[in-house]
Every structure is written in structure tokens, then in C-alpha cells.
Amino acid sequence: MADFKKSVVYQIYPKSFQDSNGDGLGDLKGIIGRLDYIKKLGVDYIWMTPFFVSPQKDNGYDVEDYYHIDPRYGTMEDFEELSKEAEKRGIGLMLDMVFNHTSDRHEWFQKALAGDEKYKNFYIFRKGKENGEPPTNWESKFGGSAWQYVEKFDEYYLHLFDVSQPDLNWENEEVRKEIQKIVRFWMGKGVKGFRFDVVNLISKGAYEDDHEGDGRRFYTDGPKIHQYLKELNETTFGTDAEIITVGEMSSTSMENCYEYAGEDSHEMSMVFSFHHLKVDFMGNEKWVLVPFDFRKLKKILFDWQTNMAEHHAWNAVFWCNHDQPRVVSRFGDEGKYWKESAKMLAGVIHCLRGTPYIYQGEELGMTNAGFTDIEQYQDVESRNHFRILQEKGISKEAAYEILKVHSRDNSRTPMQWNEEKQGGFTDGTPWIEVNPNYKEINARKELQDEDSIFAYYQKLISLRKQYDVIAYGDFEALAVEHPDIFAYKRTWQGRELLAIHNFYGKETRWSVGVNLEEYECLLSNYKDHQIQGGEISLKPYESVILYK
């Protein structure tokens, strides 16, 4: 497989990608039918969100059985065919593994509830306080206490997420051995990558009340986390140099990421961190409407780029995934400069130091859903907050505006393949409505247009493969104080790349301080650009990538 520093990963949310049997849900056969499209884009790996057997309380992140495929997505034969067909096209499959918790329907937890001591010890059961309160005051990430009482034992079990997602006890060596077995099973099926869900939460610290917050400081980047990851690496994927891994790091610190994704630390190939996607929050509060803070966005991305490089650690770089709104709606322009802003945002990410991830439809410039009725929303978080916002005294209209910006369903609407009924996603009724703009924005249309957003992504992907400076170069932040421009320099063995992006829908100028006429333009989202000596004038959302 490809060198992960030169690679690009394409994320598929199977439920919304392509339905092959008319039941309104995307499936594995649907993905097989679209492999040529993915190959055409030029990516190296496909990361798919979980399709294991699951009651779907948390969109498949509540796994009931790690060895079998949920019938709604297909069969093991379908998976084996997908693996084979992807390999023929030089594409590796990356699976999404959820090992912080299982579903409460998992056989292990069912045995635990039946009183089997061996399996009770697979989870985290604790006595409550003498006053009848839960063991600690930790809050679940989905709201409410992180502890659930079980009368039969007069004990509580820990669930950092939904009550139906009990946390696994990684202190128990038997649990770790079972997890290693699961990873080796999928390696045996030809899997070439793993994404580990909220993996930095698996090592819990002291079980104490948190008088400063919601408890996360006691279980985030916990005391044995590096030991556990090194062990997992050593016993499973680390035995195959071709396998790439990425850890999803929840509320992590950069210092821990130097080790998670360090060149010689033998843990993960790279990490996802999310700090840069909170710049349109108010503090940590997501359900508000505030303009995004451009300076903060630059500072966070520049800090991670610079410091991870200094510590020889590797980033995954991205704007979008199944939990984030569409980036062109978020930081770009859905209207007049839709195409220019989508290309500019792609340019920002794809020339950074790190492995770029593209989320399905991002390469088409798909936008937020624009739903106007709560019945159109399927996401439990969105429905809950629609109610909570109104309980706080916010009007229905204002609550809808907030959902239109922040709901996770914005990224979960079906992939827009063509201008036919349901955007070509299904012959049936889709599980969530198709974005009404599918007739204007779709893959068929873009594949016929040499100047499309899709074509621009293709070019960016091939630049990373062609120019070592993008894959391996040092990083230097530029125009740090400029109010409109996102710019940086990459250098490698006497070669230089300048990536200059106007983040806004108005013209702007920048005095660079080097003679730009000495550089050739590798890629731009406008036909012509204005460079005079060390001065560049940028049109709305203009992006210029220069090389010497």
C-alpha cells in the first residue's frame, strides 16, 4: 500500500452513501458499485463508519458483535467482495473500531448482568456512595450521570456515552486479549487500516468526584493509555507495516499526541484532534450562533502543525466527517462563491503536513441540509437540543437556525449522485431526506465539468503524490496577523511551496516579502492571478499554490 504521508483517505458513512436494494439505507453492495468513482478521485484508503451488528442506539458506535456484519448493511460475503474489489483498484479498507465501550446487548455484558463474575470484570462496576448517590459525579457525554444503577447487584456501571454503551475495563488483561483477537480477525480479512473511536478514553484514572468539571480530566489521556496502545500495536497491526492507523482523540492534549502519533513511539500512525472545529462555538458550547473566529482557527491549526512536526508526530488533517456540518456552509459560501470557496477550503487542508481525509460529498461541495421541520432530523443529539433550546426560552425559529448550522445531520444526508429521484441514492424512501439541492450539486454533473470541485480535489490529491515537499516538507506559518489570509510555507530539500488562501468573499492584498514571480503556480481556483514582485492581490476566496 501507499506511504501514509503521501496518501489520502476517503470517509464513507455507509448508511448514506449508496443503497443497492431499495430499502432506503446505504449498504456494502452500494459501496462496491461506486468503487470506480472513488478510484477516479485518486484516494488510497476508504474509512467506513461501523457496520457491525448493532442496535443502532448511537449509529453503530454501540457494537453488539464485532465479528459479524449487521444484516442491514449486507453479509460477510459482501464485505469480502468489497475488500477484493477495492484491492484490485489499489484502495485499502480502513475499519472503525469502537473499543472504549460495547453495546449493552453484547454477549459479554449480557453475561455480566446475569451475574457471571468473569464478565462483570469486563466492565466497570462500582458501589455507590453511602448517601445513595452514584460512585462519582461524572457526566455522560450524552447528558446526565455517567453511572447506571443495577438493582440486582446494588452497583452502578460506568457509561461515558449512552446508557446502552457500558465502558470496557481495560485494566483487565482478558479484555485486552479479546480486543487483540478482534483486530487480528479483521487483519485476516485483508483490512489495511483501523480508525479507533475515542481511544484516548480507555484508561481511567482515579474514580473521584470532579469539583472542577464533568469528570473528563479523570479519564482523558489516562495513566495507562500509552502502555495499552503500545501493547495493541505490538500484538496486532504493528506486525504489518502496510497497515495504517488513526486514533480519534477526544479533548486530548497536544503533548499526549506527540506520543500517540510519534514516529518512534509505536502507537498510532496519526491522530484526529478537534480543537479547530470549535471556533464557531461559544467556549465549549456548540448550540449557539456565533461567527467563526478566523484568528483562533489559524492559531490552532498552525500550533498543531508546528509542534507536531517538531516532535516528529503526524496529524490527520480534515474539515469534515459524519459528526461535523458541511465545511462549505460552515466556513465558505453556499451562494455566489460556492465553487471558489469549496476549492479554497480544499487547498488549505491538502497542502498541510498530515494525511488529508475527505468526507463523502465534500469533493462535490455538498452543503448543509437546510431542514425546516424537526421531523426531518434523525440525529438524537439534534432532537434533544431542539427541545433543550426551547426550554431555555429560545424561540422555535431561532432553534431551527441553530440546528441548520450545527446539526450532525447536515453531513448525513444521502450522497448526491445525479439529478434523478432521491439523487440516485435509492429507489426507495431514504432513511433521511436528500438535500433539495441535489439537482444542482451532484457527482454526474461534476464529472462532466473540467472546472468542477471534484476535478480540483483530484488535482490536489495528485500534487501530494507528485511533490515530496507536500508529503514530507517542514511547515512554517505565514501571514499570522493578516485578517483575511490563511498562508503557509512548506520546504523540503531545497524545494519550496507557498499555499496562499483568501478565507473571505472580498478582495484582499498581501505583501509577502519574497519575489513571487520566481515561483510557478501549481494550482489555483481562478484562471489568472495578480502577482507583482512580492505583492499578491487575491479575489474572493482565491487560493494559489506556488512552487519553486
CA–CA dist 180, 183 (Å, integer): 5
- Beta-strand (E) ranges in 364-502? 474-478, 485-492, 495-502
197 carries an active-site annotation? yes
Cα gap 105→170, rounded to integer Å: 19
- Catalytic annotation present for 27: no
Q: How far is CA 301 from the centre of its chain?
A: 16
Catalytic residue among 248, 259, 433, 484: 248
DSSP string computed for 295-363: HHHHHHHHHHHHHHHHTTB-BEE-S--TTS--HHHHTS-SSTTHHHHHHHHHHHHHTSSSEEEEETTGG
Written as one letter, the residue type at 79 is F
DSSP letter for 438, please: G
What are the angstrom distances between the C-alpha of 195 and each of 38, 441, 454? 19, 30, 25
Tell me which H or E stretch contains 471. helix 468-472
Judge contact between 385 and 396, C-beta under 8 A: no
Residue of 167, 197, 433, 484 with catalytic role: 197
| 3-state secondary structure at position 454 | helix
Distance spanning both ends of the chain, measured CA to CA: 29
| Rounded (5°) CA angle 468-470-473 | 80
Residue 262, Cβ density class (10 Å: 0-12 exposed, 13-18 middle, ≥19 buried): middle
What φ, ψ does residue 370 adopt, rounded to 5°? 70, 25
- Tell me the three cell numbers of residue 104: 449493552
Active-site residue numbers?
197, 248
